Amino acid sequence: MEIKELGHVVLYVRDLNRSAHFYGEVLGWRRLTSNGGPAMPVAAFSAPSNRTHHELLLIEVGPDAAALPSGRRVGMYHFGVKIGDSDDELRAALAQLREAGVPILGAGDHGITRSLYIADPDGNEIELYIDVPDVDWRSDPSLLYSPVKPLRL
């Protein structure tokens, strides 16, 4: 077997409308479906690039669902979403996030990428990143393990 690419992420959310607003209106994903119905309230999203049938699926589990535990735990840490290839695109995203009142959990210069970290309304962490121009990580895969430096925009 050979993995070709990461296809999609599926998240359980407490409130489908709240999460759909966050992913659609704040982050700019294109919503593909409406509420899936009473048996399974869902919403699917894709990037404007239309790369694949869907990249994100939200499934509503209701307000009584258990919260993600804090601290070190087994499970997903975050998922990354590429938003461009320039610091200007990252600056624009930072301004949009601030305007929308989304807290920035962290920021870092990874050498090959520059990243902002945020959380969705249910606490799922998301890395918004740009690829650093002119860094050839394919020729030198060790660059993936460069120490993280403070992000300077």
Residue-wise pLDDT tens digits, 44-55 = 999 988 888 899
At residue 94, the pLDDT reads 98
Domain boundaries defined on the chain: 9-60, 79-145
At residue 61, the pLDDT reads 94
At residue 33, the pLDDT reads 66
Q: What fold does the segment set 9-60 form as a domain?
A: 2,3-Dihydroxybiphenyl 1,2-Dioxygenase; domain 1 (3.10.180)
Q: Quick check: helix, strand or coil at residue 58?
A: strand
Intrachain domains 9-60 and 79-145 with the same fold: yes
**Of 81, 72, 76, whose CA–CA distance to 11 is shortest?**
76
Say which CATH superfamily domain 79-145 falls into.
2,3-Dihydroxybiphenyl 1,2-Dioxygenase, domain 1 (3.10.180.10)
